[in-house]
Amino acid sequence: MEHLSYQGYLTLREGAEILAKDRFGDKTLLLRDGTSILKLYRVKHLISSARFYPYSLRFVHNAKRLLSLGIPTVKVINIYKVPSINRTAVLYEAIKGRSLPDYIEEETLSEQMAEKLAAFVATLHGRGVYFRAIHFSNIIVLPDLKFGLVDIDDMKFKKRPLNIGKRLRNLGHFLCYESDRELIKPYISAVIRAYTSLSNLQRRNQEKVKIQLYKQVNP
C-alpha cells in the first residue's frame, strides 16, 4: 500500500468529478482522464477489523480473485494510504459498459437478456462467489452483452459451488429492490429456468429456488 501525501492526494483528484459522497466527505471520484476512478474508504468504528484488513485491500483482493475466475470486473491500478485525511483508497480503471439499469432504460429488458442475467448469477454461485451487493446497479452490461461486477467490497469466495442456503440468501440480495423485482417479474419463469438449468441442483433444491423467486416478485 503506497503512502500518498496530502499534496499528492490533491494533485490526483484535481479536476475530478464526484460520483458519490456522504456526510463524511467524498467516496468515489472519476478522475480527469475520464476512465480512472478513485474509491475512498474510512474506518467507521474505533474497534473494527477494517483497521487491520481495510476494505480497500478487500476490494483489491476481490478484483484479483474474480478475474482469476474469469468474471469481468475492474482493473486495479494502485492502492493508497492517505493519513492526512484518515483514508485508504483504491485507484482503478472503470469497467467498460453500462450499468444494468442504464442498459434497461435505453434498450429495455428482453426475455433473452433476463435469461442471460440468470445464467450469470448461476455462474457466480457455481464458482463459489457470494456477492452481497449483487443488485442490478452493481452489474455491468459489457459491449459484448456479457456481464461484469462493480462495487465489489463485500464478497466471499468458496472453494466449491455455493450450497442451497447461501444461494437462496444471495438470490434475496439479487432482487432486494422493488424496482429490480418489477423489471424481472415478466420474465421470472425464464429466469428460474435458466438459473436452475445451469446450477446442477437436486430437484428439491430447484423447487426451493423456484418458490423463493416467485415469492420475491409476488410478495
Which residue, chain included where needed, has cell 464478497? 155
Asked if pLDDT for residue 45 goes beyond 60, the answer is no
Interval 176-201: pLDDT, tens: 999 999 999 999 999 999 999 999 89
At residue 48, the pLDDT reads 47
Asked if pLDDT for residue 78 goes beyond 80, the answer is yes
Asked if pLDDT for residue 51 goes beyond 60, the answer is no
**Which pTM does this prediction carry?**
0.89
What lies within 8 Å, CB to CB, of 79 at 6+ separation is 1, 2, 56, 57, 60, 88, 89, 90, 91
Asked if pLDDT for residue 4 goes beyond 70, the answer is yes
Determine the distance from the C-alpha atom of residue 81 to the mean position of all C-alpha atoms in its chain, rounded to a whole number: 23
Asked if pLDDT for residue 71 goes beyond 90, the answer is yes
Q: How large is the average pLDDT for residues 209-213? A: 95
Asked if pLDDT for residue 70 goes beyond 90, the answer is yes
CB atoms within 10 A of CB 107: 12
At residue 219, the pLDDT reads 76
For residues 175 and 213, the answer to whether their CB atoms sit within 8 Å is: yes
Interval 52-66: pLDDT, tens: 568 899 999 999 999
For residues 133 and 208, the answer to whether their CB atoms sit within 8 Å is: no
Interval 111-149: pLDDT, tens: 999 999 999 999 999 999 999 999 999 999 999 999 999
